[in-house]
Amino acid sequence: MNEEKRFEWRAFRRARWGPLRVVVRDGLIEAKVGDAVVELDVTDRRPAAEREANQWRSVFDDGVPVSLNGTRVATVTTKQGSPGGLVRRKRHTITGEAGFVLPGMEYTGRSLPDLVTLRCDAGVLVASRRWASPINVAVTEWSIVREYDLIAPRVTKLARPEHIALWAALKESQRS
């Protein structure tokens, strides 16, 4: 795997749980909050002919491995029968070790506006703020400072730093 950085951004320095750092490499998205480093391996492992025949198939359909501090702890897969599209939320299930994955953990995401929610049976862990998406896009695109995502997501007390990092990695996977 190529370890050269393609893209890096930092945000939420002033959040009570911040800052957040996201690094995107070829096939790997790494997000860090505090001491928790979460990596998503979004490499498409299908043969080239199959990739070309079905270009719109998501890597999440086959399962994306999630690592916490270098140890594989979970897999994110597309929920069967989940709608997809630009404005409809696509649902993904998260399965893995009980220390990382809470019961009923899932992620929903849509592109317009850019909304990502990480939840479990106990409730929402981390969620994008609906009204903040257009502001964050404007700041990212037209700011002289080049801040990324100025307005932090809504984070509940149930969320640990690794959950916030997972949310950020999943959000970046929608952009990539």
How do the domains of the chain map onto residue ranges? 5-173
- Residue 65: is the preceding peptide bond cis (ω within 30°)? no
Q: What's the mean pLDDT in 158-173?
A: 94
Residue 168 pLDDT more than 80? yes
In this prediction, residue 167 has a pLDDT band, given cuts at 50, 70 and 90, of very high
Q: What percent of the chain has pLDDT over 70?
A: 90
Lowest mean pLDDT among 11-20, 68-77, 130-139: 130-139
- pLDDT at res. 96: 95
Is pLDDT above 90 for 81? no
For the chain, how long is the longest CA-to-CA vector?
47
What gap in Å lies between CA 175 and CA 76, rounded to an integer?
17
38 vs 80 pLDDT, higher one: 38
pLDDT of residue 10 exceeding 90: no
Q: What confidence category does residue 155 fall into, taking pLDDT thresholds of 50, 70 and 90? A: very high
